[in-house]
A and B are shown apart, each in its own frame.
Chain A
Amino acid sequence: MTTIRRFCCNDLLRFAAVNLDHLTETFNMSFYMTYLARWPDYFHVAEGPGNRIMGYIMGKVEGQGESWHGHVTAVTVAPEYRRQQLAKKLMNLLEDISDNIDKAFFVDLFVRASNAPAIKMYEKLGYVIYRRVLRYYSGEEDGLDMRKALSRDVEKKSIIPLKRPVTPDELEYD
């Protein structure tokens, strides 16, 4: 029951059922609108019968050379629509755009080390833990940088795990 379309500003006034989830961050306005202004094709919303917002995915494409990649900034689903593989559909769409349109090498995302359900879901979708980022979240909690290689990375070099944790300062992009 999923119409997936580009996210628009008015959806910010309609996604409360999704964003009241305690694991879903409600960013400041300029954060959302910067993504909409720069990467509208990486910001999609799933809409169900009755025009209900089911969930959304927010991301971007960035990097240089072999670091050219799609990034998932947030993917979240309303409680009413969970356990229906909706997150998978949203992730697949972002991966397709990164792979087929923007010719990225991989897709990555950051997730709280304590968010076991999310980590499990991403692993099912084919992501591996590439590296641990120390105190990534508000200088307190570690984050995990998970990656999935796309077709352009034939040898899958982009997802070879790093052996040691890194600090946020060491990230060459965010």
Chain B
Amino acid sequence: MASKFGLAGGIPERKVRPIWDAIDSRQFKNALKHVSTLLAKHPNSPYALALKALVLERMGKPDEALSVALNAKELLYANESLLMDDLTLSTLQIVFQRLDHLDLATGCYEHACSKFPSNLELMMGLFNCYVREYSFVKQQQTAIKMYKQYQQVGEEKERFLLWAVCSIQLQVLCGSGEDKLLFLAEGLLKKHVASHSLHEPEALMIYISILERQAKFGDALEILSGKLGSLLQIEVDKLRMQGRLLARAGDYTAAADIFNKILESCPDDWESFLHYLGCLLEDDSIWCDEVVNDPVHPPKFVNFKVSHLTDEQFDSQISIASACVQKLQADTINNLIRCPYLATIEIERRKHLRGKGNDDNLMDGIVQYFCRFGHLACFTSDVEMFVEVLTTDKKIELLEKLMKTSVSLSAPPTKTLGLSISFFKIKHLLLGDMSMSSASDLEVFCVQMFEMYCKNLPLSKDLDPQESMHGEELLSMICNILVQLFWRTKNVGYLVEAIMVLEFGLAIQRYVSQYKILLLHLYSHCGALSVAHEWYKSLDVKNILMESILHHILPQMLVSPLWTELNHLLKDYLKFMDDHFRESADLTFLAYRHRNYSKVIEFVQFKDRLQHSSQYLVARVETPILQLKQNADNIEEEEGILQNLKCGIHFLELSKEVGSKSLTFNEDLQSRPWWTPTSEKNYLLGPFEGISYYPREILTKDRETSLKRVIEKKSLLPRMIYLSIKSASASIKEHVEVNGSVTPDITSELKLLLECYAQFLGFSLTEAIEVVMGFSNGESSCVVSDSNLIDWLNFTVFLNAWSLSSHELVQPDGNGCRPRIWNILDSMLEKYILENVKSIEPQLCSPWSVMELLMQLVTEPLAWHGLVIQSCLRSCFPSGKKKKKSGSAYQSSANLAHAITDSVMHLFHVLEVVLKWITEWNKRPEDEHLENILLLLRRDGHNDGPGKVFHILETFISSVNDVELGDRISQSLKSWSPADVARKMMTGKLKVLTEFSAICGSKLKLFKSMKQQIAQL
């Protein structure tokens, strides 16, 4: 091969290096210069051409790069074998991959391998191509060839075998391969081991997983306990594997012994204890659940199956477990090891569920755990799973015991504070919905916690500014209760007070992400979405965190007028995802090369998970819709966008894709506030229900079904908008041409899509049309609600467009009914928009959900209808020279002309009203707005309502003790002002309104110009 003689692709290395150096330094012009010089000397060198293609691609000239790369490819195929080397091919592969032509790269390698079937280097390159294409079968075939080719016994041969085995596993797990393929993989491994053994621990792990997936636990155990087992050098990992296999094989006694051994060396290993206890009780729930549970959202509570053991056996096994735990407690010196003490409670819980438990023992276990670990921040989450089995009366009793214990314990100030916080948290947990507490009691509780926070601030005086403060959880807890009070009373002052408390906390310590998330949702609920967005940005969410954290802000932004910010969010997220999908195969190959075979499987499965992400699909659909909304006032620009979207066809395909595959939900729901456990649910929008602070188990299946429908419905929009524009245009032309006919395809396709859309509304097309027609009689009010209003109006817009070019709705008396839907649509838009305007007082403290609906009404159905009108009018003015003739087109259909004229006038008026109404908000002086917000917190002698915590807060910041608090904290407090927070809230809401006003202004301008157009006819 050429590369063996110091030549790279037939060219001396010293001449090539400057090019690569220039590329690596991103000096592409210089690189191109070097390449040109090289090509002058080697005009037919495929490698030189490949380098040129690479440089051109990096310079942002994909078309030229592809042309040059294809030229190189042709030369490779035609020229002598001396130049067919891996370096040339790998360079071409880079180019083709970056140009999204993996197939061409693969073709090159396939051609090379057919010419040189014994060249392992080329075969590895081909294998890499198949990895990139996720062609698992071809990966297997290529790996087997390499395995057979490689004669020298050792790690390299083993590697090729494992590549083949992994490829088989991938066929079963991520492809359409049947389970019996695992038997083939097992055979390959067994044969290899018999003659060559294994050298890599990862190879052994794969071998065992192959056996385990076939339920051949005995064979796996035999291998693990044999000489191959010594490959696993991390002893605890080996023991875990062994214990799991024994348990799955049904040898619970032996498995329990193994897990006991783990506990002896790792006494704080909670999972091992659960396994140990499960084995003693012969309960295989954990291993069964591993298959069923979503690995990203594992259950919070330990599942449990009623044991089939006799009472005598059960008691005996429980005794063994208790003895083990007592021994662990006795042997453990470290005061921070929690597992043995939590284990005591778990044992009592199992006894309880068996019907043999004693509540007092369970509660005593919790009390003892509280004594030892109650000061830790994680106490409540540790014991949360255990209090579920208690009755309400027992919960109250437990609370009383904890209270007495808390008072009696003597501890340093920081621990005392920790104990108090844990007690407060467990109190919330035990008392559930808090409905038994009066509003007044809750307010007193909030004051108590706030005073405790302030009193303990000195404990954090000497902490580094970047460290967590002692007691910072108290403010989160106060916020949660204040929101609860708002939910009960609908007094907005409680929300404002909650905001003040958290802003106060962030003034002292600006890195508390929990505060920021709570504030994000509070500001969002109050309508100050721009402030919510600022807090989101302060979290510095990026890269993979976007997949799990973006849900806090994205749903609100999607229905807001903050289009610029939304565009950035969507763009950043999609770029991250698409970048990963582009490079994930290379990372998989990296794992192959480094012999970390378990990661190969893991990487492919993870990519699948992300590709089916519900959030990813939402973003893919919403991004073009955002573009359409942003440009709806200019039909030429809109059509340009639609052309880029393949006239919406691509999204119809996406709609089908969504329907056929399952979605994954990758959000971190644990970080959401109690009042909005998922993006789709906000308890504050409804009546008080006395719900628990902690979210119920989220039904993923229901979410998936619901979200699929939303995505599928949204996916129809681009195509329906496109067809509506075409239909409207065609309807005008129909009147111009004496014997003209409307393009049947447009009309029939639009009808089909209307039928699909109607189904999402829960009706057949005919029924849906009846609902729309019935609107003039007031019949639709019982069908249309706020939750589906936008969908109904969108449907009506598209229905109207279809009716313009369709003859199906023509009544026997002629064209009389054609504009009828148009009139209905105008009436609906006018009614709902103005209705919403009237229902919202121009006060900064008004409920905001209605505002969101208003904004959606203007930016979606009104926008799409505006496009239809633009399309009609544009057809009347094909060019200035034909003005006279076009005028006759408009006049030839009196009914349609009348409808258009009325429509423009009506909607112009509606927009005028909206803009005038928005102006009312800005007319009020800033001071008045500020005063109105702060007034919500002034108690003025009232005995109820918000303001009690705020009063303490104000008192505290007005008497800051510099010496006691230290410079850092006291200076932070002195620079903080409640008025600044109120101003922030006000400014945030006004910014949203300003953006909405700009959108309305743009549309008003459009309708004004259309009025002028009509006047010229």
Contacts and interface: CB of A to CB of B under 8 A. Distances in A.
Interface of A: 1-6, 8-10, 12-14, 16-17, 19-23, 26-30, 32-34, 36-38, 40-41, 47-52, 79-85, 97, 100-101, 115-117
A33 B378 contact: no
B57 to A, nearest CB: 20
A1 B339 contact: yes
Given A2-B270, A16-B668, A101-B233, A27 B381 contact: no
A81 B378 contact: yes
Contacts of B549: 16, 20
A83 B377 CA distance: 9
Interface string B582-602: 011001101100101011001
B663 to A, nearest CB: 14
When A and B form their complex, which 6 residue pairs have the shortest distance between CB atoms, in order from nearest? A9-B606, A51-B298, A37-B591, A20-B513, A3-B271, A16-B668
A13 B336 contact: no
Given A13-B547, A19-B545, A20-B539, A81 B377 contact: yes
A60 to B, nearest CB: 11
A16 B467 CA distance: 18
A81 B376 CA distance: 8
B919 interface: no
Given A40-B596, A49-B382, A10 B609 contact: yes
Interface in B254-270: 266, 268-270
8 contacts: A20-B539, A20-B541, A21-B513, A29-B584, A37-B591, A40-B599, A80-B381, A84-B378
Contact of B605 (A9, A38, A40): A9
Interface of B: 233-234, 237, 240, 266, 268-272, 295-296, 298-301, 336, 338-339, 342, 376-378, 381-382, 384-385, 464, 466-468, 511, 513-514, 539-545, 547-549, 576, 579-580, 583-584, 587-588, 590-591, 594, 596, 598-599, 602-603, 605-606, 609, 666, 668, 670-671
Given A37-B594, A81-B377, A48 B382 contact: yes
A1 B270 contact: yes
Contacts of A32: 544
Contact of A80 (B233, B266, B377): B377
B296 A52 contact: no
B466 A117 contact: yes
Given A34-B587, A47-B271, A52-B381, A16 B545 contact: yes
A22 B540 contact: yes
B377 A82 contact: yes
Contacts of B541: 20, 26
Of the listed residues A13, A47, A81, the one surrounded by the most CB atoms of chain B closer than 10 A to its CB is A13
B376 A84 contact: yes
Contact of B301 (A2, A26, A50, A80): A50
B466 A34 contact: no
Contact of B590 (A5, A38, A97): A38
Given A17-B670, A50-B384, A80-B377, A9 B513 contact: no
Nearest to B467: A117
A3 B270 contact: yes
B385 A49 contact: yes
A8 B466 CA distance: 29
A29 B576 contact: yes
A26 B271 contact: no
B610 to A, nearest CB: 9
A98 B49 CA distance: 46
B666 A13 contact: yes
Nearest to A47: B271
Contacts of A17: 668, 670-671
B598 to A, nearest CB: 7
B342 A30 contact: no
A156 B342 CA distance: 42
Nearest to A40: B596
Contact of A85 (B336, B466, B579, B603): B336
A9 B602 contact: yes
B378 A26 contact: no
Contacts of A30: 580, 583, 587
A81 B382 CA distance: 11
A85 B933 CA distance: 45
